[in-house]
Amino acid sequence: MEKWIIDHEELEILRAHTYNKADVVLICFSVVNPDSFDNIKEKWFPDIQCYWPGIPFLIVGTQIDLRDDPREIRELSQIGMKPIISMQGRKLAQELGAIKYVECSACTQEGLENVFDETIFFTALKSLKSLNKKRLY
- In DSSP notation, 31-75 reads TT-HHHHHHIIIIIHHHHHHHSTT--EEEEEE-GGGTT-HHHHHH
Predicted structure pTM score: 0.83
Confidence of residue 126 (pLDDT cuts 50, 70, 90): confident
pLDDT of residue 108: 97
In terms of pLDDT, which residue wins out, 48 or 85? 85
pLDDT tens digits along 127-137: 776 656 655 45
Average pLDDT, the chain: 87
Please report, for the chain, the start and end positions of each structural domain, with discontinuous segments joined by +.
10-124
Sheet with 25-30: strands ordered across: 25-30, 57-62, 100-103
HSE toward the beta carbon, residue 96, CA cutoff 13 A? 30
Query: pLDDT digits over 67-112, tens only?
Result: 999 999 999 999 999 999 999 999 999 999 999 999 999 999 999 9
Residue 123 pLDDT grade (very low, low, confident, very high; cuts 50, 70, 90): confident
Superfamily designation of domain 10-124: P-loop containing nucleotide triphosphate hydrolases (3.40.50.300)
Band of pLDDT at residue 15, cut at 50, 70 and 90? low
pLDDT at 2: 45
